Amino acid sequence: MPHLVAGDGACCAAVFLPSLGSLHVERVVDGGDGLRIRAHTRTPQVVCPQCTAVSARVHARHERRLHDGVLGGRPVVIDLVVRRFICVNAGCDTVTFTEQVPGLTLPYRRRTVAALGVLEHIAVAVAGRAGARLAGLLGIVVHPSTLIRLIRALPDPVCTQAPEILAKAAAAVVVAGQRRVGRGN
Ligand SMILES: [Zn+2]
């Protein structure tokens, strides 16, 4: 039985899922074993990701299915209607582009930013099959190879100083060298 949401996007769903705050939530359907939320964007203008020109010229609309995290122990799926805009900058290589929702979507991803964040943490802690099993216990279905791909996609950690253990190892090498020189004398 669909739960129809009235008002201009003021929806109780946005209280539990803040990433929906900028959207118009059309309906929330309790499917028993999961929640299905249908929503659409409502920002009148968006910025071209290539040249940052502001555009309000809508070329087309399409629906994206996004797997979110778990709410009340049940998985959440968001059917999000997004628009493809025409870049108004004649000098831009990007003719059309699909809008993204900050904090919710990433290009070509079928999971929300929040769900990807959870999976990245799981992948770093226990990748592969163990990670997939843990994610499954948390209500997120994921293939082990997906977790491996998430790890590979993570940026390398920035290392501005040698870790303490390396500094100690370098010092030990110097001391050992000095001792060898001493014995040689
Ligand atoms: Zn552009």
Measured in Å, residue 89 CA sits from the centre of ligand 1 at 5
Q: Check residue 5 and give its pLDDT.
A: 55
Measured in Å, residue 85 CA sits from the centre of ligand 1 at 10
Q: Is residue 137 part of a domain?
A: yes
Q: Check residue 174 and give its pLDDT.
A: 76
Measured in Å, residue 126 CA sits from the centre of ligand 1 at 41
pTM, to two decimals: 0.74
Measured in Å, residue 86 CA sits from the centre of ligand 1 at 8
Q: Is residue 145 part of a domain?
A: yes
Q: Is residue 56 part of a domain?
A: no
Q: Is residue 148 part of a domain?
A: yes
Measured in Å, residue 90 CA sits from the centre of ligand 1 at 8
Q: Is residue 143 part of a domain?
A: yes
Measured in Å, residue 79 CA sits from the centre of ligand 1 at 27
Measured in Å, residue 54 CA sits from the centre of ligand 1 at 8
Measured in Å, residue 145 CA sits from the centre of ligand 1 at 35
Measured in Å, residue 44 CA sits from the centre of ligand 1 at 17
Could you give the number of structural domains in the chain? 1
Tens place of pLDDT per residue across the chain (185 aa): 455 554 554 566 667 788 888 899 999 898 888 899 999 999 999 999 999 999 999 999 999 999 998 888 889 999 999 999 999 999 999 999 999 999 999 999 999 999 999 999 999 998 889 999 999 888 888 999 999 999 998 888 776 666 676 777 777 777 777 777 777 55
Measured in Å, residue 94 CA sits from the centre of ligand 1 at 5
- Rounded distance, CA 20 to CA 25, Å? 8
- Rounded distance, CA 62 to CA 81, Å? 6
What backbone phi and psi angles, to 5 degrees, belong to 42?
A: -145, 10
Q: Check residue 119 and give its pLDDT.
A: 93
- Rounded distance, CA 28 to CA 49, Å? 31
Measured in Å, residue 34 CA sits from the centre of ligand 1 at 39
Q: Is residue 138 part of a domain?
A: yes
3-class secondary structure for the chain? CEEECCCCCCCHHHHHCHHHCCEEEEEEEECCCCEEEEEEECCCCEECCCCCCEECCEEEEEEEEEEEEEECCEEEEEEEEEEEEECCCCCCCCCEEECCCCCCCCCCCCECHHHHHHHHHHHHHCCHHHHHHHHHHCCCCCCHHHHHHHHHHCCCCCCCCCCHHHHHHHHHHHHHHHHHHHHHC
Q: Is residue 72 part of a domain?
A: no
What is the domain extent for residue 136?
111-155
Q: Is residue 128 part of a domain?
A: yes
Measured in Å, residue 18 CA sits from the centre of ligand 1 at 29
